[in-house]
Amino acid sequence: MQRTFYSNGKLLLSGEYAILDGAMGLAIPTKYGQSLEVTETSSGLLDWKSFDENDHVWFEGTYALDNLAEISSSDKSISATLIQLLTEAKAQNPNFLKNPTGYVVATKLSFPRAWGLGSSSTLINNIAQWAEVNAYQLLQKAFGGSGYDIACAKHNAPILYQLIDKQPKVKEVAFDPEFKDSLYFVYLNQKKSSKEAIAAYQKRHFDKKTLISKVSSITKTMVEAKTLDEFESLINLHEETLSNILGLPPIKDNLFPDFPGTIKSLGAWGGDFMLVVGNEKNMAYFMSKGYKTIIPYIQMGHPSIGLP
């Protein structure tokens, strides 16, 4: 018997850092994601292979089914993380992996791992579907984080996400602005460690209630923005607000001061993708500086992006 599971990638448009403390964030599921295919075998083992967007194997491992002991792997660190996830899934559902005959598992990304679109969150959500356990709990036990990426993995429309009393609250929204053709995602050619960025944020001293209130207000207004000018003003306000908290200059001031449009960091500041307001002609500016991965909003978002 063969079963296949799929999860969407993610991009957080507002609320980075502050979403951990309960601020409301606007996030979109991407058309890029990850699948997990499970085939039952008679080997008595769990054979795992992970494929990248070019169908190249980037990780493989073999494990004993009864205790998930590693028999072999191509990367000890990745293997340890996988064992941790599967062990936690078994703890939540003792019937998981009880089949004594064996499994072959193949995961397949549709985006480069370095893009930061959720290679971990899509894996966690896929394992949770397979094991029939709570993906948010699996995330917390394994890695921690706000969980917005898990929500994107599950939803096919833009979402408002907020932790209330540490519990995820998700609302699908119709974020499909008339000015969407002016929105682009530009990859910064480097992946930032979310764990390190979060740790640095948590060491800062500031009024959390004020930050949560301000970021949540910006997020709500972003969803309702009718004009590009209004949206750009909100982006600039968000950048200024986080800049003051983090003690870091906004990415436009730091790297692209002569760019005529508006730029917003996404996720850990200084890595992964940034949101750029401009037109196709403006994108030549980034190409000339070596930033070759430029994806329009309408191509990055899930095909159902304008729903509900």
Judge whether 224 and 233 are in contact, CB under 8 Å: no
Query: Considering 119, 142, 172, which residue would you say is the last residue of a domain?
Result: 172
Do 152 and 14 fall into the same domain? yes
pLDDT in tens, 205-240: 899 999 999 999 999 999 999 999 999 999 999 999
Residue 106 counted as domain residue: yes
Residues 298, 131: Cα–Cα separation, whole Å = 33
Mean pLDDT across the stretch 246-251? Answer: 93
Residue 308 counted as domain residue: no
183: exposed, middle or buried (Cβ count in 10 Å: 0-12, 13-18, 19+): buried
Do 165 and 189 fall into the same domain? no
Give the pLDDT score at 308: 44
pLDDT in tens, 54-73: 999 999 999 999 999 999 99
CATH number reported for the structural domain that contains residue 167 in this entry: 3.30.230.10
Per-residue H/E/C for the chain: CEEEEEEEEEEECCCCCHHHHCCCEEEEEEEEEEEEEEEECCCCEEEEEEECCCCCEEEEEEEECCCCCEEEECCHHHHHHHHHHHHHHHHHCCCCCCCCCCEEEEEEECCCHHHCCCHHHHHHHHHHHHHCCCHHHHHHHHCCCCCHHHHHHHCCCCEEEEEECCEEEEEECCCCCCCHHHEEEEECCCCCCHHHHHHHHHCCCCCHHHHHHHHHHHHHHHHHCCCHHHHHHHHHHHHHHHHHHHCCCCHHHHHCCCCCCEEEECCCCCCCEEEEECCCCCHHHHHHCCCCCEEEHHHHECCCCCCC
pLDDT in tens, 76-134: 999 999 999 999 999 999 999 987 799 999 999 999 999 999 999 999 999 999 999 99
Q: Is the pLDDT of residue 307 over 60?
A: no
Query: Considering 126, 143, 172, which residue would you say is the last residue of a domain?
Result: 172
Do 6 and 124 fall into the same domain? yes
Residue 307 counted as domain residue: no
b/e 95-131 (16+ beta carbons within 10 angstroms → b): ebbeeeeebbbbbbbbbbbebbbbbbbbbbbbbbbbb
Do 109 and 13 fall into the same domain? yes
Residue 306 counted as domain residue: no
The residue with greater pLDDT, 195 or 14, is 14
Reference 259, options 237, 241, 272, 274; nearest CA is: 274
If pLDDT is split at 50, 70 and 90, which confidence band does 305 have?
low
Give the pLDDT score at 144: 85
Residue 35 counted as domain residue: yes
Q: Which domain holds residue 190?
A: 180-300
Residue 191 counted as domain residue: yes
Give the pLDDT score at 36: 98
If pLDDT is split at 50, 70 and 90, which confidence band does 302 have?
confident
- For residue 58, the one-letter residue type is W
Give the pLDDT score at 267: 81
Do 145 and 211 fall into the same domain? no
Do 118 and 225 fall into the same domain? no
Do 6 and 35 fall into the same domain? yes
Q: Is the pLDDT of residue 306 over 60?
A: no
Task: Kindly report the average pLDDT of the chain as a whole number.
Answer: 94
Query: Considering 155, 172, 189, which residue would you say is the last residue of a domain?
Result: 172
pLDDT in tens, 126-154: 999 999 999 999 999 888 889 999 999 99
Judge whether 104 and 1 are in contact, CB under 8 Å: no
Do 9 and 125 fall into the same domain? yes
pLDDT in tens, 270-283: 778 999 999 999 99
pLDDT in tens, 148-175: 999 999 999 999 999 999 999 999 998 9
Residue 159 counted as domain residue: yes
The residue with greater pLDDT, 193 or 216, is 216
Do 153 and 193 fall into the same domain? no
Residue 305 counted as domain residue: no
Do 159 and 272 fall into the same domain? no
Prediction pTM value: 0.94
208 CA to centre of own chain: 23
Give the pLDDT score at 229: 98
For the chain, what is the domain count?
2
CATH number reported for the structural domain that contains residue 228 in this entry: 3.30.70.890
Do 17 and 165 fall into the same domain? yes
Do 67 and 36 fall into the same domain? yes
Q: Token pair of 221, please?
A: 């207004």
Judge whether 271 and 188 are in contact, CB under 8 Å: yes
Contacts of 143 (CB under 8 A, 6+ apart): 120, 124
